[in-house]
Chain A
Amino acid sequence: MSKPLTKRVLLLNLLRELAIKEPEGPIEVPEGLEGFGEVHYNPAACIACGKCINVCEDDALSLENVLDLSIFLDPHLNIDEIRSENRRILVELIRKLAKRMPERAIIVPDGIPGFGTIRYKRVFCTACKKCVEACTEGAIRILPIFNLKAIFEEMRSESR
């Protein structure tokens, strides 16, 4: 990690030192406590405009030019949660057309705006909610959980 050690990273390093066992699952963040939470991202609703990335002061978000079509075929996907009219139609068309479950994500060529996938790093996120405010599509929410298990995994994979 090339970033300077922020207060958040110092805290996480400390927690890792203190840990005597692997955290098991997410902890609920009590109401009123700021600074902790986890981004919940709905890739089916995301139009890859990048506004969330622009407002994120922690550099926790980035955009990758890939699109996993299987998200549109997920039976749990609620079309009503998608704001973009074009995207809702796309989901309907893909559901009508699909002969099989897509196996791999496709690369979005340059010059095709509207498609891509947001990548999220829990380690940097301070749950400031600026991304939520910036997103016109309702594709980002902050869940009141502190997922130490996932954070530790992220830290381990980064240091590898």
Chain B
Amino acid sequence: MKNVGVILCTCGGTLGGVIKFDEVKKFAEEQNGVVSVVLVDKLCNEDAKKAAEELKGKVDALVVLACSPQIYGDVIREKLGSAGLSVPIEFVNIREHCAWPHKSDGDGATRKAKVLLAAALARISETKGPETRVITPKNAALVIGGGVAGIRAAVDLSNAGVEVFLVEKSPTLGGIVSNHVDLFPSFKPPQDLLKQLYQELKETTVHVITCAEVEKIEGQPGDFKVTIKVRPRGVDPEKCTLCGECAKVCPVEVPDDLNLGLSKRKAIYLPSKVPYPEGYAIDFSACTKCGKCVEACKQNAISLDGEEKEITVNVGAILIATGMREADPSKYAGYNYGKIKSMVTQFQLERMLDPEGPTGGKVIRPDTGEEVKRVLMALCTGSRTVEDNPYCSRICCTYALKHAIKLRERGIDVIISYMDIRSPFFAENLYQKAREMGVIFIRGDLATVDLDPETKKPVAYLENTITGQIMAIETDLVVLTPTLKPNAAGFLKGLKMPRKLNEFLQSLYAKVRPTDTRERGIFLCGTAYTPMFVSDAIVHASAAAERALKFLRNGIPKETYTPAVREELCSQCGACEEVCPFGAPKLVNGKPVIDVTKCNGCGICAALCPTGALQLRDYERGLLFKQIEAVLRTAKSLDNESPKVIAFCCEECAYATLDLLGITGKEYPSYVYPIMLPCAGRVSLLDILKALAEGADAVLVIACGEKSCHYLDGSVRARRMVAFAKEVLKELGYDPDKLGYVDVVSVETDKLLNSIRAIVDAVKKG
């Protein structure tokens, strides 16, 4: 018998309004096997130490009643562990599953907390915990994207002794920063920052691979195999002296895409003011291979017959530093961007303001070439929209203010139409300065831009959202401030890399793991994660490098819940071999043998084993039955009146969606009791019948979205199992509507709520 400690966390006292903690504490103290009960306010924080001190040495297992283990489970485990309390933990989610979704039913929420506590106690008395194997990752990392964030992370990792490959799509490092005249809000030239980063990079052993794109990522965390496509550069940067003779003789001119097409460049060109590696590059999509550059180059640095090649690198960790870009404003109807040529984006304006840029630093109308006297800047182009992008891109207000100041310095009139000015911290100074310099601010919503038929100047129509007045403002140039979007990262296809609504990549948990992803060993770095200022991107990159380093150093404690085979029961039927999505069980001489490196612990084989010979570790049929009994018997003893619904739910999306119901405050009856399984595919006919035989009024199986099941076909298996069980129940005289199945991806709260309601309706029908 285990000595069990129970920790109750009030979540900073916030749950006390719903859950009666004194009652739950008393209930816990009365349970068999419970030796100590501790009530704390912030287990995710300083109270972990307090709880650990109190329970250390007294208990060999813990039941923690707190928030969702999907969100804070690891943090709580770590905090208790570092305070000296490392014992198996069973979590009961009294926040997202009790207090929040049943806030108008305090008695119900309190009962549910007790019921789930009883089930957790039944469970922890028998669980063995996972089998742990440690995989040592390869001491190498791949950084994808050579902007400031990518370089920072690569340097940090290399300095810590990791072999680093830094892959950059273009012929030079530097990313979006390298084409700016000055950083904001500091007004410092980014070239200084880049030179400093390049210097640090030169002192490392980082393998810099430019003109290269990642094709695909295969393998496992700690042992990724990455295929990279490398285009020929045409110029050997080792030999190139940047003399520029090649570009002088090159007969091919193409519009310089970075410079609005206002200037042209040759097919052989210098890809940045401060290129790294230091050398020219050939744009082979334009080059005619005439050979003049080869003749002109005294260093023998040029070769026209390089071919695209594929290389493979084997790394333990991957950092995604693919950066961001301005959205294409032509997709926002009404502005007529692209049709009216006197309209540019902030980034295009940046290029015009560059003394070494296409216009020599003059601000001109792109269509007529006339110097501009008056500019209208519209903020939030495509940001903070109701429909597809209700977010602020964070940095663009400051970016626009920087440009407004520079335009005023040139004597150009500036009108800014804004929703709110969001210039954080010291960027506030820019706003004050812009006001002092006479920039006119109109709180307005730009509706459309047209050309005046006579003056041929753009006219911006906007609503002054303070006065309600519709304004038509004639100007020389309209500057749009497009919302920021992440650069494409096609190589992520097939990986579990969800994106936020604004298309940027999601981290594992925004607050506590802002650089980790769902894919172990893959980290986010800089603006691939979210728009940020350069200084923040560098901090984020260093943080990502640190996390990657920790991962590479500590190895992967792979915790596995593998099924055990009871040979005396096995009928050698081969069903396990047939149903496993990963090919883990194999019949060897008629006996099933589980390959632990392939097994993912879903339990589909155990659910479908006809005899019971296969039992998933810690999710054995007998243990699950005990949990079912504990839930239903406790619920009955506490409240014989209310119905009882068992919700078998997978611990992936199903659990997360149940969490979201709580987070979004969508209420459902407190008599729906979740029982967590690794995958809905683990639910067998027996488990469903057991719940009903123990007095459940209904059973709901909640699975991951069928296309996004973490175990490939677990959800589909669960759906079929439920269909079969419904047929069985119908023949035994039951209403099949009292058994439900729903598959949800973790945002589909309404779909889940509807299926809970359908089950509840069936229960009420009697």
Interface residues of A, Cβ cutoff 8 Å to B: 47-51, 69, 83-87, 89-90, 93-94, 96-100, 102-104, 106-115, 136-137
Contacts and interface: CB of A to CB of B under 8 A. Distances in A.
Contact of A106 (B621, B693, B727): B727
A158 B388 CA distance: 67
The winner among B575, B578, B728 for most chain A CB atoms within 10 A is B728
B722 to A, nearest CB: 10
A16 B611 CA distance: 43
A136 B572 contact: yes
A134 to B, nearest CB: 10
Contacts of A107: 727
Contact of A85 (B573, B612, B730, B733): B612
B733 A114 contact: no
5 cross-chain pairs, A with B, having the tightest CB-CB distances, nearest first: A114-B610, A99-B733, A49-B573, A113-B575, A47-B610
B720 A114 contact: no
Contacts of B734: 97, 99
A38 to B, nearest CB: 24
Given A49-B574, A114-B609, 14 more contacts: A49-B573, A83-B611, A86-B684, A100-B732, A100-B733, A106-B727, A106-B728, A109-B720, A109-B724, A111-B716, A113-B578, A114-B610, A136-B572, A136-B573
Contacts of B689: 90, 93-94, 97
Interface residues of B, number: 36
Contacts of B439: none
B594 interface: no
Contact of A99 (B578, B579, B732): B732
A113 B571 contact: no
B608 interface: yes
B686 A93 contact: yes
Contact of A69 (B572, B575, B693, B731): B731
Interface in B687-705: 689-690, 692-693
Given A84-B612, A85-B569, A112 B731 contact: no
B723 interface: yes
A128 B730 CA distance: 40
Given A96-B693, A112-B724, A136 B571 contact: yes
Give the secondary structure class of A's interface: loop
B485 interface: no
Contacts of B608: 112-114
Contacts of B686: 86, 89-90, 93
The winner among B575, B578, B716 for most chain A CB atoms within 10 A is B575
B402 interface: no
B721 interface: yes
Given A94-B732, A104-B731, A107-B727, A84 B717 contact: no
A102 B609 CA distance: 25
Interface in B662-705: 684-686, 689-690, 692-693
Given A84-B610, A93-B690, A97-B689, A112 B732 contact: no
A89 B688 CA distance: 12
Nearest to A50: B573
A47 B731 contact: no
Interface in B709-724: 716-717, 720-721, 723-724
A113 B573 contact: yes
B571 A97 contact: no
6 contacts: A69-B732, A84-B571, A90-B689, A97-B729, A97-B734, A111-B716
A86 B578 CA distance: 19
A50 B575 CA distance: 11
A144 B570 CA distance: 29
B756 to A, nearest CB: 23
A109 B720 CA distance: 7
